[in-house]
């Protein structure tokens, strides 16, 4: 799930191996263009478009965190009609505007990618936006100048590997500092076939068992 950056297009090509990636549009990115016009120029159509999109966001909030099956059922009955109405209305608006009109341009961001923007309606696992992924990457973006001091390509690769492990620990509700300290203290004594035991999700399970026994 992403914005419309062209660099992602090759991931969805039919001949990609081992298989094409299924692309889903991010509604936050789509809304942003219309919101800027509504806020700056007070364009009535942009304001209405943002209102219609916000209604979809509000409906989606009621099912955030629920199982995919439930999300899919609610989307098909309650949210799909809102999306269909929005796209029909946008198409009608664009027929009456010049393609150079900023509002038409912002609406066409959705219309040209209707298949990706409606994909969440057929798969309960897909979110309405990729905001969670962007929040996870914010630390990398804020530290981009620091990464210039990796020293070499190899140093950069090692830093990326460490960052991936730290984020993986966080995703598994593991304290990265505690995990790294324990792993670094034990790794020399563990044979290669058992190194997977030190991965955050295995480490967490081991710690839980150990704490239970100790208690």
Range 73-81, long-range pairs (CB < 8 A, 24+ positions): 73/124, 75/120, 75/121, 75/124, 76/121, 79/121, 80/121
pLDDT tens readout for residues 170-202: 889 999 999 999 999 999 999 999 999 898 988
d(CA 83, CA 175): 41
Of residues 168, 167, 162, the one with CA closest to residue 199: 168
Q: Kindly report the pTM of this predicted structure.
A: 0.73
Mean pLDDT of 112-141: 90
- Tokens describing residue 74: 């609610």
pLDDT tens readout for residues 83-106: 999 999 999 999 999 989 999 999
pLDDT tens readout for residues 40-61: 999 999 999 999 999 999 999 9
Confidence (pLDDT) at 178: 93
Using the predicted structure, report yes or no on whether residue 209 has a pLDDT greater than 90.
no
Confidence (pLDDT) at 211: 64
Beta bridge partners of 2: 25
**Sequence spans of domains, the chain:** 6-130, 149-214
């Amino acid at each position: 799930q992403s914005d419309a950056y062209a660099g992602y297009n090759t991931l969805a090509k039919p001949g990609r191996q081992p298989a094409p990636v299924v692309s889903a549009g991010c509604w936050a990115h789509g809304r942003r263009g219309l919101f800027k016009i509504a806020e700056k120029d007070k364009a009535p159509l942009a304001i209405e478009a943002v209102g219609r999109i916000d209604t979809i966001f509000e409906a989606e909030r009621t099912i955030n965190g629920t199982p995919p099956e439930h999300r899919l059922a609610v989307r098909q009955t309650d949210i799909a009609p809102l999306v269909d109405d929005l796209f029909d209305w946008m198409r009608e608006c664009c027929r009456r505007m010049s393609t150079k009109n900023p509002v038409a341009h912002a609406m066409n961001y959705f219309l040209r990618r209707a298949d990706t923007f409606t994909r969440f309606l057929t798969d309960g696992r897909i979110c309405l936006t990729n905001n969670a992924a962007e929040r996870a990457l914010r630390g990398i973006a804020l530290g981009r100048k620091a990464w210039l001091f990796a020293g070499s390509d190899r140093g950069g690769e090692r830093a990326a590997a460490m960052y991936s492990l730290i984020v993986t620990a966080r995703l598994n509700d593991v304290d990265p500092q505690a995990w790294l300290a324990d792993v670094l203290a034990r790794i020399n004594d563990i044979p290669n076939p058992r190194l997977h035991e030190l991965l955050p999700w295995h480490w967490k399970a081991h710690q839980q068992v150990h704490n239970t026994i100790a208690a």
